[in-house]
Structure 1
Amino acid sequence: MIRSLCLCLAATLLLTACGGENYRLNNFVSDGTPEEFGIVPREPLELPDGLAAQSLPQPTPGGSNRTDQTPLSNAVAALGGSRGALAATGVPARDAGLVNSAGRFGIASDIRETLAAEDAAFLRRAKLFNVKLIRDDEYRKAYRRSLLDARAELERFRRAGVQTPTVPPRR
């Protein structure tokens, strides 16, 4: 008797917790306004009578936007960067020594393809030993031995006497 009473009380509490006006099964349910993506036109779209098709500009794929001529440079400027840096081509003079040093033993023109093939072969070999019951990040598992612990490296450099910049605190 007490057991059935407790079950009945628990079921009542569970059902009343689900009630109320603000409870929604779907967070995308609107508040009485039409849903933009739920409106399906029954007939094909037509141009208004006063607007001729010739007055509309032809779309230019890759062309500039008529209202926002330089969106990328505006974003760079808003984030504190230099608009001129986007137009720069080639290697800046300050980096020429670095580029020459990096290419002193020759430059492979197909380096991206070579690295992609080597990475795919490595991942294939690593998959043989990754037993998974639950879907997981296989890339991270395969390269777990190659991950760099930034804090440990920072401490190693500091112990060696290398001047290092400040680091955000641990969370």
Structure 2
Amino acid sequence: MRAAKVARAGIMLALVALVAACSRGDPSMMHIQRGMTTPDEFAILPNKPIETPPNYNDLPAPNPLGGNRTDVNPEAEAIAALGGNPARVVRDGKIVADSGLIRHTTRYGVEQNVRANLALEDLEYRKRNRGRALERLFQVPTYYSAYERQAIDQHGALWYYRARGLPTPAAPSDPEVD
């Protein structure tokens, strides 16, 4: 009698695991809805520090529809970081005329629909690397193990470039200290 109950419980558990293993749809790897809380890094946009101008007469007139000198403009800051002229970016983020920057960033060609192609390739990769049946059943995050082979060893790259005498101004922190 007891053996029959254990066998039935084992069969039920196997069926539940089989159903979890055969689930279709968009494979989720992080399982944030499982009760884990993660910060929304896009919800907070840090402003630049407020500074006192050297001459108050040089300040622009207040414009309720316009921007602020301390507003963050990620498009213009990215263009400045790449060596372009951030003044050539209009308010909607489009580059008005910076042919040097466009020529440099497209020097290896431009793939049309790169975002859609990447999304499809990533979806296929996530479907092939969904994790084991019990990981899916208990919603264990498998994101880091699935993408582990594609991750860059930042400290290994740092030591590689430093051994060749190349500058590494934006080096990650030392793993020995962390």
Same fold (TM > 0.5) = no
- Per the normalisation by structure 2, the TM-score is 0.43
Higher relative contact order (CA 8 A, sep 6+): 2
Q: Which has the larger radius of gyration?
A: 1
